[in-house]
Amino acid sequence: MAAPHDLTALEQAAAIRSGDLSPVELTEHYLERMDRLDDTLGAFLTRTPRLTREQAALAESEAVAARREGRELPPLHGVPVPVKDLNHVAGERCTMGSRALAEDVSPVDDHVVTKLRAAGTVMLGKTNTPEFGLPCYTENGLAPPARTPWDLSRSAGGSSGGAAAAVAGGLAPLAHASDGGGSIRIPASVCGLFGIKPSRGRVSSGPLLHDITGLSTSGPLARTVADAAALLDVLAGPMPGDPFTAPALPPGETFTAHARREPGQLRIACLTDAPIPNADVHPDCLAAVTETAKLLGELGHRVEELALPADDGIRYAFTRVWSVIAANRPVPPEGEELLMPLTRYLRARGSEVSGTDFAGAMYTFRMLAQTLADGLMPQDGGYDVVLSPTLAAPPAPVGSLRDDADPQAEFAAIGAFTPFTALYNATGQPAVSVPLHWNAAGLPIGVMLGGRYGDEATLLSLSAQLERARPWAGRKPSMW
């Protein structure tokens, strides 16, 4: 008989609805795995056993009552879902990965947490993140580094590295994550998971720390496309005060339903050259894209090579906006000296950006989005999807991207490792990382699919088609 963590999230939810599995039993199973494995994986910054067990007991009571009364339960009722520690859970610690905020307690829930509670999920804890989610690795002064379970000498990526380590290591069935420059897709790639960065405005970032730049959004990390779609259904939808709102699905439609549908024949652009200058792409990452393009052609899609002119203006604009975001993170005066060198470097740069320079960077993002919408992916023609590597290299060794002595060089190395991902944060378009490939060393190599703004549905249908053609969820690391 399969262990509970062998089941997908939707299989767990079905077992809870039928009474074959108890939310309390399932939660205790994951808490035991956390106790046994998390010191190795570095998946969690804060454990919340009191709240976790309270929510599991409540979910069990509701499941019993629903069976007795013949009522339907939400699709993920009783399923454990940890929350990334950049987001607030009322009454629980929220460090944002920083020693400067090590004892901060959240006054209210973020909107994504409100939605997770309403869906009947059980919060396992707060997952590990680098300081303020700024770099693409998950190393800080509060917890062990987050490691990919496929090779414990290598990083789980970032900034949702803890969430990815938890799911890939069987410490959670799926997880809430967030993405401001690739922070869902990067750890998905290096941990062998499926991750979705939704369209701008699809998921609320409020109420405490609205991202007025539009770069960042919450989204799911999961082992299967269907699980990720189900969690996106939970997280999606506007909330009061949101500065952006993505087009809603038609009445009665769900992302989960789209993950069960064939995508039809699509026109797909294949991009292998990085859109920023002097970014080399590793042969393993190129091979992953080449194999995916071949598979897409076999599935009946039109795949055409695409070359975008390398433009350093995108990187320049992103650096300015990213540094302003860093400068605006809430740090008490006495906490400044506790910040990591990269954070201090970015905050210093951000404080020097003028209002007109910031506005100019934002206009660069808007012009890029308009160019893609009008010229590359118009609604009445053009490409439906863009295929590219997720990353420029295989999973990086722990510590290899960090350079406390030279944070400027560190930030450049981060950009070279992730030259493809930030494009979709700048434009607001949805993008996914699909775990189709492992290299000769047994390391996962993700490929990225980007879609039209508001069209997560096509990406989910296409990803599910790829998953059916080349299933990946049964492939698990040795520590599983």
Q: Please identify every residue annotated as catalytic.
A: 84, 159, 183
Question: Any idea what DSSP says for residue 308?
Answer: P
Cα separation of 246 and 244, whole Å?
7
**Which helix (H) or strand (E) segment is 387 a member of?**
strand 385-389
133-165 core/surface letters (b: 16 or more CB in 10 A; e: else):
bbbbbbbbebbbbbbbbbbbebbbbbbbbbbbb
Q: Are 125 and 48 in contact (CB under 8 A)?
A: yes
Partners of 387 in the β-ladder: 270, 449
Give CA separation, 296 vs 191, 255, 293, 420, 467, in Å: 23, 21, 5, 20, 11
Q: What dihedral do alpha carbons 210, 213, 214, 219 form, nearest 10°?
A: -60
Beta carbons within 8 Å of 20's beta carbon, 6+ residues apart: none
Cα separation of 126 and 86, whole Å?
9
Q: Are 305 and 268 in contact (CB under 8 A)?
A: no
Cα separation of 105 and 90, whole Å?
8
Closest to 329 in 3D by CA, of 82, 109, 130, 91: 130
Q: Which amino acid is at 455?
A: D
The two structure tokens encoding residue 391: 């990353």
**Start-to-end Cα distance in the chain:** 16
Closest to 161 in 3D by CA, of 23, 44, 261: 44
Q: Are 14 and 173 in contact (CB under 8 A)?
A: no
Q: Are 170 and 163 in contact (CB under 8 A)?
A: no
Q: What single string gives the DSSP state of each residue in 328-348?
A: TS---GGGGGGS-HHHHHHHH
Peptide bond into 216 cis (omega under 30): no
Q: Which amino acid is at 172?
A: A
Q: Using CB atoms within 10 A of its CB, is residue 86 exposed (0-12), middle (13-18) or buried (19+)?
A: buried
Q: Are 146 and 128 in contact (CB under 8 A)?
A: yes
